Chain A
Amino acid sequence: MFNKKTILHSIGNGTISSIDTCIDPVFSEKIVGDGYLFTPRDNNIYSPISGNITMVADTNHAFGITSKKYELLVHIGIESVKLKEQLIIPVVKEGDTVKQGDLIATIDLSKLKSTLPSTQTPVLVTNLDGKQVKLLKTGLVSINDKILEIK
């Protein structure tokens, strides 16, 4: 019962690296939370865990997902709060229930690449409260790969 592990899956097909390598210090220094860094290779973003959508930013660039124990933030792109064009289209809204692997947003990857400093997408646990995370896989991943363990 105790110390039960929680697994975060990949949010899509892309590349995983350590959160330390994020170009934005607010994420690399883990000010927001700890987790993994995803760089998309296609236009689909999926939920890394089963839970409820508790936040969709007005600018659609960030999603909050609350599981039984953890609050996650999926922040699509760097400096994406300043996006003026609709390059991220959410397919969920606040209050929706999602399963791991459900589509949460589609993105215009080629336009995001030319608009943003980076398409790096931090996937972060914002309420670890001392718990540790372990990166299980880096490099090329696909949607159902297990990426991060929380224990």
Chain B
Amino acid sequence: MTARPRRSRVSRRRFMTLVAGASAAALVAPASAVRAAARRPLPRKSATPPATAAEIEKQKKYVAEALKVIRDYPLPPGSNMAFAFRPLRPARKK
């Protein structure tokens, strides 16, 4: 799914903290201090309430069940999709 954030080794938040920390620290501190700043632990993300976390897990389970049904459904190789791609003709100026 295109909306799903791509997972990278460094999270966006961690990356932004590193960039911001490095830029600011570089102005006033030696490289060792910058490295130390980068190593500092990030403030902990506010914890999801247990009830919400439990519900998220429940919904993940529903998704997993639906995925199993979809993955197990037999279709012949190369069966058609419900839509057909069509090349887009340019709107030529007259």
B is a partner of A: no
